[in-house]
Amino acid sequence: MILRSWLDRLLLLLFWGSGLLILLILIGIIGYLICRGGSSLTLEFLTTTPKGLPLGTSGGVLPAVKGTCLLVLIAVAASAAPGVITAVYLSEYGRYAKLKVLVNMTIQCMAGIPSIVTGLFGYAIFVVYFGMGISLLAGGLSLGIMVFPVIVLTSRDALLAVNEQYRLAGAALGVSRWYMLIRVIIPQAAPAMLSGILLAMGYAAGATAPIMVTAAVISAGMSGGLMEPVMALPYHLYVLFSQHISMEKAYGTALLLVLLLLLLNITALWLKGRHRKGV
């Protein structure tokens, strides 16, 4: 009993230590970025275009912010509906179907594909085969493919987390499965599903590899045309850092991107917490 008690304490200490270590790493990253790039994060930085020679030594990142937002919106618009429909099939209609195993395996494989491979696939399909060129639409659709498995898996888990008593009560009352799904199951799972979509948005916003070959360029206008190339925060950061154009601006861009991703993740966790309380 004494040995088991000490073992429990050791494991508890290990778990708490691991959690605190991750928290300290996150605080360290944000603190370092604030120290190195906090002075660059001004109103001018957020509302002006890159300037200087080479481009990016002065000015701001407004086109990159706009391009990132548009890419994320297109990615979610392209993948959210198919992802939710697939999740509904896996959780409600395909529980005992042999096809479910194949679909699950496919989704898991898609989730493990490196983002650069997804980018090359998007380049081959959207840029070359469909003739979209390096454009906002091609990049958004490529990101949509990348975040599709994230939306499927989080939505499936949200639907499965809904209390089974609702389904049993509906079946006992003779209510159709479709009616129960629309009026009870999905509303119960909606906060967690929205949380998964927000996580997917954060994943897409921080991705560099897929847009390097499908959408992003060093300099682009503010028109936001679907068939035009765009600037994006991750690619702009990559250019600033890899070419040593301006380390101060690079750290400022990195801080802005991290804060954006942190906001999306906090919102997603808050929605997931509300869902758990509701269930």
Model confidence at 224: pLDDT above 80: no
Q: In this predicted structure, what is the pLDDT of residue 53?
A: 80
Q: What is the pLDDT of residues 174-184, one digit of tens each?
A: 888 888 888 88
As a whole number, mean pLDDT of residues 247-270 equals 89
Q: In this predicted structure, what is the pLDDT of residue 251?
A: 92
Please check whether residue 110 is in contact with residue 149, taking contact to mean a CB–CB distance below 8 angstroms: yes
Q: Which residue has the higher pLDDT, 7 or 147?
A: 147
Model confidence at 70: pLDDT above 90: yes
Q: Which of 36-40, 53-57, 109-113, 213-217 has the lowest mean pLDDT?
A: 53-57
Q: In this predicted structure, what is the pLDDT of residue 15?
A: 87
- Single pTM value for the model: 0.89
Residue 278 confidence class, pLDDT cut points 50, 70, 90: low
Over pLDDT 90: what percentage of the chain?
Answer: 45
Highest mean pLDDT out of 156-165, 219-228, 263-272: 156-165
Model confidence at 98: pLDDT above 80: no
Q: In this predicted structure, what is the pLDDT of residue 78?
A: 95
Residue 118 confidence class, pLDDT cut points 50, 70, 90: very high
Please check whether residue 253 is in contact with residue 240, taking contact to mean a CB–CB distance below 8 angstroms: yes
Q: Which residue type, as a one-letter code, is found at position 22?
A: I
Neighbouring C-beta atoms of residue 15, cutoff 10 Å:
10
193 dihedral zone (left: phi>0; alpha: psi -120 to 50; beta): alpha
Q: CA 107 to CA 150: how far, in whole Å?
A: 9
Which parts of the chain fold into alpha helices (H)?
2-37, 43-47, 62-88, 98-112, 115-122, 136-160, 164-172, 177-180, 186-205, 209-212, 233-242, 247-278
Token pair of 252 as six digits: 């400022």
DSSP 16-84: HHHHHHHHHHHHHHHHHHHHHHGGG-SHHHHHS-EETTTTTSEE--HHHHHHHHHHHHHHHHHHHHHHH
Could you identify the residue written with the tokens 């765009």?
230
Q: CA 41 to CA 38: how far, in whole Å?
A: 5
Residue 85 confidence class, pLDDT cut points 50, 70, 90: very high
Q: CA 32 to CA 27: how far, in whole Å?
A: 8
